[in-house]
């Protein structure tokens, strides 16, 4: 059964997502071989996320690369709505962002939108959202971003700086645009209506600080696109470039449909999960297996609907020949789901052991990355070098 009622909005991602339809409805461009080859020209390699189209669409990436080739470096901007624990799905765009930072030698500005989570989530206090900004930042730091080139900030704690720009942006956006873009209603709280202008700010922040237009590239999961559609419309009216964006698919949940989601506990593996929790969740995952082991050995499984296979594909079997071998074994009935799930849980646990160590170490390093109002933003990065 195919769920044709999929949804991709910044607040809700559900159903069996038809990415081709998303591309045509959102009006983004697919990442084709040509543009991937031009990324390779500067990066010297093709990240598996590109090869496998985990990052699959963009706006104006060709422009970013052209500017880069002429010595006009871009900076990266991405973010996180800190509402609870970080799960593996959140790591996908961040891992890629880290690769971009290394390969292109560029800055990253990382926004923690504690205000957003407060406006959109009825179960979180402002104080908790703010606290989660720094909890979640540990997972960002654990991915080894270079602190000399990385700035992490919470909307609440950098509000003075951000609000100055958000006000200019907000004045150029009408309620009817926001209503139409995000499906808000007369009953939506007015923080929600304002919020997009806050998410647009980091796309111009470096330009404001440096008093010249600096190209900005925003890696993100595709659900964030509506914010930047609005931002790309209004920022030129204020004299800024349109930011470029590059979109990833979602890491699916371990259940049959939908993305990995923090609100559906069993579908998500959190970065702080214990080995037993991981094993339990993976063992309960939806697969393309048959009703019995006997039938599976005779008829084979179906990797194309299997969530375990999707985890291999996206994150845990980045070597093509290893993946291909696993796929063949599944189709030929040479491996059954129980064994395959054991292999995945071990891979995830190995990854998490390492991540958790680095996350622990990040507690001491966090101050090197984060900034608040008291810091002079001009020349900030120069001082770190």
- Say whether residue 81 binds ligand TRP (CB under 6 A): yes
**CA gap 298, 294 in Å, rounded:** 6
Write out the H or E segment, with its range, that includes residue 108.
Answer: strand 108-112
Pick the piece of the chain touching ligand TRP (CB under 6 A) from 59-67, 110-118, 263-271, 370-378.
110-118
Distance CA 369, CA 107 (A): 12
Residue 9 · residue 183 · CB < 8 Å: yes
Q: Residues 253, 24, 198, 65: what is their CA dihedral angle, to the nearest 10 degrees? A: 100
For residue 373, the minimal CB distance to ligand TRP (Å) is 19
b/e sequence 114-136, b meaning 16+ C-beta within 10 Å: bbbbbbbbeebeeebbbebbbbb
> Of the listed pieces 49-57, 74-82, 333-341, 360-368, which binds ligand TRP according to CB under 6 A?
74-82
Name the residue nearer to ligand TRP (CB basis): 119 or 312: 119
Contact window for ligand TRP (CB under 6 A) among 48-56, 77-85, 325-333, 371-379? 77-85
CB of 216 to ligand TRP, least distance (A): 10
- Count the residues of the shown chain that bind ligand TRP, applying the rule CB under 6 A: 12
* Among 31, 78, 169, 341, contact with ligand TRP (rule: CB under 6 A): 78
Shortest Cβ 7–ligand TRP spacing (Å): 15
- Out of 59, 80, 310, 341, the only residue in the binding site for ligand TRP (CB under 6 A) is 80
Q: Could you give the C-alpha distances from 104 to 100, 203, 338, in angstroms and in order?
A: 6, 18, 42
**Which of 224, 241, 248, 267 lies at the binding interface for ligand TRP (CB under 6 A)?**
224
The distance of closest approach from Cβ of residue 378 to ligand TRP in the complex, given in angstroms and rounded to an integer, is: 22
Phi, psi of 45 (to 5 degrees): -155, 165
Cβ contact 71:41 at 8 Å: no
The footprint of ligand TRP (CB under 6 A) covers: 10, 78-81, 111, 113, 116, 199, 218, 220, 224
């Amino acid at each position: 059964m195919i769920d044709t009622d999929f949804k991709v909005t910044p607040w809700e991602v559900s159903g069996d997502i038809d990415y081709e339809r998303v591309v045509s409805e959102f009006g983004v461009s697919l990442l084709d071989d040509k543009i991937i080859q031009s990324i390779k020209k500067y990066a010297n390699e093709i990240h598996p996320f590109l090869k496998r189209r985990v990052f699959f669409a963009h706006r104006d990436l060709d422009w970013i690369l052209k500017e880069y080739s002429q010595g006009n470096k871009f900076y990266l901007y991405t973010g996180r709505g800190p509402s609870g624990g970080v799960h593996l799905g959140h790591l996908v765009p961040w891992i890629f962002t880290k690769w971009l930072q290394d390969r292109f030698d560029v800055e990253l500005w990382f926004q923690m939108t504690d205000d957003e989570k407060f406006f959109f989530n009825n179960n979180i206090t402002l104080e908790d959202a703010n606290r989660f900004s720094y909890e979640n930042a540990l997972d960002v730091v654990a991915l080894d971003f270079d602190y000399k080139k990385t700035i992490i900030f919470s909307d609440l704690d950098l509000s003075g700086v951000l609000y100055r720009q958000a006000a200019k942006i907000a004045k150029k956006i009408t309620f009817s645009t926001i209503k139409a873009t995000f499906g808000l209603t007369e009953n939506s709280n007015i923080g929600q209506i304002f919020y997009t202008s806050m998410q647009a700010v980091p796309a111009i922040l470096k330009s404001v600080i440096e008093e010249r237009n600096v190209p900005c590239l925003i890696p993100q999961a595709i659900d964030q696109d509506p914010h930047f559609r609005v931002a790309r419309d209004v920022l030129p009216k204020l004299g800024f470039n349109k930011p470029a964006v590059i979109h990833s698919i979602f890491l699916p949940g371990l259940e049959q449909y939908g993305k990995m989601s923090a609100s559906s506990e069993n579908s998500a593996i959190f970065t702080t999960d214990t080995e037993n929790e991981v094993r339990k969740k993976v063992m309960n995952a939806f697969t393309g297996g048959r009703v019995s082991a006997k039938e599976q050995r005779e008829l084979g499984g179906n990797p194309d609907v299997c969530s375990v296979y999707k985890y291999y594909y996206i994150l845990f079997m980045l070597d093509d020949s290893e993946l291909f071998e696993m796929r063949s074994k599944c189709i030929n009935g040479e491996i059954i789901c129980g064994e395959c799930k054991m292999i995945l849980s071990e891979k995830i646990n190995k990854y998490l052991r390492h991540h958790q160590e680095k996350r622990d170490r990040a507690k001491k390093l966090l101050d090197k990355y984060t900034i608040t109002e008291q810091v002079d933003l001009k020349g900030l990065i120069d001082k770190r070098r």
